[in-house]
């Protein structure tokens, strides 16, 4: 399992953005200062207000600006169509464009940013190609 903790400027807006992508929320681990987004059975996002996120950092450290590309997160999709659909949902929900889509025949990729600038890449590879 993986748990990705991300600072966000507006917890409610982040909740709305990620649920509009089709992800669910685990209310047991959500409150006014954080939201627990269930991406899959093994992938979870903990979106924390910047103040709450800062409480987990060592003294003297601060969170980086996601708009300066401190990390890129990648998710695999089950089809080419799912890649395109997820990118379109993100853009319609207020996300931004990151890079142009890529189509290599055996692999396609798309990307977007969330409202805070966190980068998400989504990709599909043809399992028959064995690359």
Q: Which residues pair with 83 in a beta bridge?
A: none
Model pLDDT, residue 7: 96
Radius of gyration of the chain (CA): 15
Q: What are the phi and psi torsion angles at 9 (to 5°)?
A: -80, -25
d(CA 38, CA 110): 21
d(CA 126, CA 107): 6
Closest CA to 22 of 70, 69, 87, 66: 87
Question: With contact defined as beta carbons under 8 Å apart, do 54 and 62 qualify?
Answer: yes
pLDDT of residue 36 exceeding 90: yes
Per-residue pLDDT reduced to its tens digit, 60-110:
888 888 888 678 999 999 999 999 999 999 999 999 999 999 999 899 999
Q: What are the phi and psi torsion angles at 46 (to 5°)?
A: -110, 105
Segment 49-59 mean pLDDT: 92
Question: How many C-beta atoms surround the C-beta of residue 31 within 10 A?
Answer: 12
pTM of the model: 0.88
d(CA 85, CA 69): 24
């Amino acid at each position: 399992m993986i748990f990705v903790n991300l600072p966000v400027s507006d917890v409610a807006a982040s909740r709305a953005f990620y649920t509009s992508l089709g992800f669910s929320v685990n209310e047991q681990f959500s409150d006014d200062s954080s939201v627990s987004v269930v991406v899959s059975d093994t992938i979870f996002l903990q979106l924390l207000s910047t103040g709450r996120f800062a409480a987990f950092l060592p003294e003297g450290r601060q969170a980086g600006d996601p708009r300066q590309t401190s990390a890129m997160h990648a998710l695999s999709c089950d089809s080419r169509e799912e890649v395109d659909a997820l990118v379109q949902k993100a853009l319609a929900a207020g996300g931004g464009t990151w890079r142009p889509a890529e189509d290599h025949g055996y692999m396609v990729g798309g990307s977007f940013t969330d409202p805070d600038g966190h980068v998400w890449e989504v990709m599909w590879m043809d399992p028959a190609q064995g690359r």
